[in-house]
């Protein structure tokens, strides 16, 4: 085989292989990083818990809960939803909220408190919006529409 033909073949193979590699992109963890990784997310969840206790619209729904477990599960869930390395292992949303009878007012109050907790932790507004967008698909399972 002529040397030129082998060179062209090698370049073509290299381009094909690099093209295949671009099909296997790394997961997007930009939101996870903007939230401050697991430590930042845990801080947001902690501040959210304090806001829940003070919010008469929703604090009754959370009476008697295991605070440490709630903190761990919500931190894992937000970490996973934001593209982080965590894995949520808690109960399914529909099962967890089945008997709670959550109203739109209560759902919105929790979302409002989550935004306040993110603001307190200096999460950029664009990242806040991206996280809320990730949480929206959970709405029907929480509200049981």
Give domain 27-143's CATH superfamily: Globins (1.10.490.10)
pLDDT tens sequence across 76-131: 999 999 999 999 887 776 666 665 768 888 889 999 999 999 999 999 999 999 99
- Listed by start position, the domains of the chain span 27-143
User: Which among 68, 17, 31, 29 has a CA at the least distance from the CA of 46?
Assistant: 68
pLDDT tens sequence across 35-72: 999 999 999 999 999 999 999 999 998 888 899 999 99
Distance CA(35)–CA(33), nearest Å, equals 5
Number of helices followed by number of strands (H, E) in the chain: 8, 0
pTM: 0.76
């Amino acid at each position: 085989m002529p040397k030129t033909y082998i060179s062209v073949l090698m370049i073509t193979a290299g381009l094909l292989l690099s093209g295949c590699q671009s099909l296997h992109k790394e997961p997007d963890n930009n939101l996870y990083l903007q939230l401050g990784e697991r430590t930042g997310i845990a801080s947001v969840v902690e501040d959210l818990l304090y806001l829940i206790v003070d919010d008469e619209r929703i604090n009754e729904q959370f009476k008697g809960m295991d605070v440490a477990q709630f903190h761990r599960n919500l931190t894992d869930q937000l970490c996973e939803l934001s593209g982080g390395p965590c894995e949520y292992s808690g109960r399914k949303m529909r099962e967890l909220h089945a008997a709670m009878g959550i109203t739109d007012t209560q759902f919105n109050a929790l979302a409002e408190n989550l935004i306040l907790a993110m603001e307190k932790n200096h999460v950029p507004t664009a990242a806040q919006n991206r996280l809320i967008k990730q949480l929206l698909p959970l709405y029907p399972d929480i509200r049981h529409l």
